[in-house]
Amino acid sequence: MAFIQCQFYSETLEIQASMNVILPQRKGRLFPTLYLLHGLSDDHTAWSRQTSIERYASAHGIAVVMPAVNRSFYTDMSHGAKYWTFVSEELPELARSFFPLSPLPEDNFVAGLSMGGYGAMKLGLSFPERFAAAASLSGAVDVNRLAKVRFTPDLLNVVSDPSTIPGSSADLFALAERLAGQPSVPLLFQCCGTEDFLYEDNIRFRDLCLRLGLPLTYEEEPGNHEWGYWDRKIERVLNWLPIKQG
């Protein structure tokens, strides 16, 4: 496996942006790709520093793209840059121009932890035609509640009026309801430790997805909001992904 630290200019963000990429060392093919998203207090280096993601990816022959999005909640911010446009439009196009990554929907997956779990579900639910699967680890899935009780300063930078979140494209519950019954629906994976401060939010999102009949795999076990749990669960996610071996 190759580990690549990539700095590049983002037209969307209008800054020098960063991503780390794990790439199989095989010639003559385009690789299935996992876009792996970081949490609120992390950056694009966190997954590689805190977990064995490179070893797990090597076992499956999959590329992993880890972008930096700061504390943006994977959103076009009211007071900040257009990180949603960056991660959903510009990043995949640039990554495929730099590296041998497959453009096929069945070869593209997204996962993340905490804020990144929210971003992963947002991408999967918003673009079911682009992703075969989306996974949330201890995801910040209920931004409606979090805007009121926990992450208010950050979310006020993301959206100046939190009352506009319910029912919008930032609301995972609304996105799930819109996706239900559509012909193209990605596989969904959700997990959260039972001691995690986001556990109750995850239960509410799980119950909605199951009621809507979405293809959700849900797992819970004792665990908190910490890297030991996420290291175990990202290995589980890679084992769960429908990766086609070429």
3-state SS class at 78: coil
Residue 245 located in a structural domain:
no
Average pLDDT by stretches of 10, the chain with 246 residues: 98 98 93 98 97 98 98 93 98 98 98 98 97 98 86 77 86 96 93 98 98 97 97 98 87
Q: Is residue 158 part of a domain?
A: yes
By the 10 Å C-beta count (0-12 exposed, 13-18 middle, 19+ buried), 27 is classed as exposed
Could you tell me if residue 46 is inside a domain?
yes
Q: So what's the pLDDT on residue 192?
A: 98
Residues 157-170 pLDDT 10s: 888 787 888 899 99
In a domain, 149, yes or no: yes
- Among candidate residues 188, 213, 61, 199, the one with its CA nearest the CA of residue 132: 188
Range of the domain at 187: 2-240
Domain-embedded: residue 211? yes
pLDDT of 233 reads 98
CA distances from 87 to 11, 34, 98, 171, 180 (A): 12, 13, 15, 17, 24
- The CATH number of whichever domain residue 148 belongs to comes to 3.40.50.1820
For the chain, how many structural domains are there in total?
1
CB contact set of 152 (below 8 Å; sequence gap of 6+): 162
- Type of residue numbered 44: H
For residue 94, what are its two tokens?
A: 């640039």
Predicted confidence at residue 151, as pLDDT, reads: 67
In sequence order, the 6+-apart residues with CB closer than 8 A to the CB of 110 are 34, 35, 36, 37, 119, 120, 123, 124, 131, 133, 134, 135
Instruction: Name the DSSP letter for residue 168.
Output: S
Q: Specify if 62 maps to a domain.
A: yes
In 14-166, which ranges are E strands?
A: 15-23, 33-37, 63-67, 108-113, 133-137
Q: What is the pLDDT of residue 159?
A: 82
| Residue-level pLDDT at 245 | 78
Predicted pLDDT at 246 = 66
